[in-house]
Amino acid sequence: LKPPVKILVTGAAGQIGYAVMPMIARGQMLGPDQPVIIHMLDIPSASEALGGLKMELIDSALPLLRGVIATTDVAQACKDVNFVIMLAGFPRKEGMERKELMSKNVAIYKAQASALEQHAAPNCKILVVANPANTNALILKEFAPSIQPKNITCLTRLDHNRALGHLSERLNVHVGDVKNVIIWGNHSSTQYPDANHAIVKTEFGEKSAKELVANDTWMKGEFISTVQQRGAAIIKARKQSSSLSAASAACDHMHDWILGTPKGTWVSMGVYSDGAYSIPAGIIYSFPVNCDKGEWSIVQGLKIDEFSRAKMEATANELVEEKNLAYSCLN
Ligand code: NAI
């Protein structure tokens, strides 16, 4: 076994926190040979629930779990952490203006950026899940200048996994035989789920999903809208947002980032744009990435048709607009 690493989960007393904790402590995130010490942070009103979660973790007798800290103190929570999953956010309340909601989240991410900057371990890797995920991650980046931008990412893996699931259902194949869908842009309903480059493993070798589906109307219509609206469909059915699948996707994101993507396979991650694919630099945008030895790199050179270009730009425009809104909250 390796020496233990410290993982901070913010907003740990919430729905996703409850689902993700056993996954982390059973090695789904960093592998079965990686012991973990979990730091759980939440706000004082959730501190009792957080204590209950700690009791449950102890009662689960998890061999990889080498310690649990449950705290409402941000500095203690961030102390020497190697990995961070940020679930903490201010939820939208009825009648709340978009700017008011943004301003609450900007305040949270600004404060936690400073704490991470001061207390986290060097080279600490961060995944922002809480919405608006891309823009929260951007605020974090702006207020933690000593953390390298490459170490700050946001979750679009849930959307990526949804796209894989939906495509595999359509083709009646196992989800594990489908790869290389892409989520471009924002984790919002403007995201562009793109299956143009997706590949399916068949008994006759690897085939293009587009050719197998052979239905452009479905690919450009129902496929995209189903993935975009899946979160809303789950809220409608469960009266609560996706927690299990979000927790699972957060583990997939960290797992592939740290342990690498298989050769010839990419995944979608929200990362700091350097202008690749003519997307504006300086926003956190979801791209297809390969990961190796703990570093992601954007998959280069994919052919983008006019339809895709328009969708990629629309979601980029929304992110630029969100960035401006976030900045206006700072003043
Ligand atoms: P939740 O409301 O159950 O949990 C959020 C937790 O954050 C609560 O326990 C709350 O007390 C805590 N919190 C609020 N402010 C805090 C602060 N300043 N410091 C520490 N903790 C704080 O929400 P849930 O369902 O667990 O979702 C978490 C976030 O993830 C939400 O913002 C949700 O919209 C987002 N989400 C993102 C997805 C993605 O694919 N990127 C998918 C699903 C959810």
Q: How far is CA 295 from the centre of its chain?
A: 16
Residue 108 in contact with ligand 1 by CB distance below 6 A: yes
C-alpha of residue 308 to centroid of ligand 1, in Å: 31
φ, ψ (nearest 5 deg) of residue 218: -65, -45
Could you count the other beta carbons within 10 Å of the beta carbon of residue 300?
10
Active site residue 255: no
Stretch 139-153: mean pLDDT, rounded? Answer: 97
Which position among 166, 187, 197, 255 bears the catalytic label? 187
d(CA 207, CA 209): 6
Instruction: State the pLDDT confidence band at 279, using cuts at 50, 70 and 90.
Output: very high
Helix, strand, coil share (%) of the chain residues, nearest 5: 45, 20, 35
**pTM score above 0.95:** yes
Q: What does each C-alpha distance from 278 to 197, 291, 301, 309, 310 come to in angstroms?
A: 19, 22, 12, 9, 12
93 pLDDT higher than 90: no
What is the structure's pLDDT at 227? 98
d(CA 14, CA 113): 20
Stretch 214-225: mean pLDDT, rounded? Answer: 97
From 9, 40, 42, mutation site for ligand 1 pocket: most ligand atoms within 8 A of C-beta: 42
Residue 129 in contact with ligand 1 by CB distance below 6 A: yes
Stretch 34-53: mean pLDDT, rounded? Answer: 98
331 pLDDT higher than 80: no
**Ligand 1 atom 28 nearest Cα:** 87
From the alpha carbon of 16, which atom of ligand 1 is closest?
26
- Which amino acid, one-letter code, is at 262? P
Stretch 137-159: mean pLDDT, rounded? Answer: 97
Contact 24/7 with Cβ under 8 angstroms?
yes
What is the structure's pLDDT at 16? 98
d(CA 26, CA 15): 18
Residue 101 in contact with ligand 1 by CB distance below 6 A: no
d(CA 244, CA 69): 23
Is 0.95 exceeded by the ipTM? yes
DSSP label at 300? P
Mean of all residue pLDDT scores within the chain: 97
* Interval 225-238: pLDDT, tens: 999 999 999 999 99
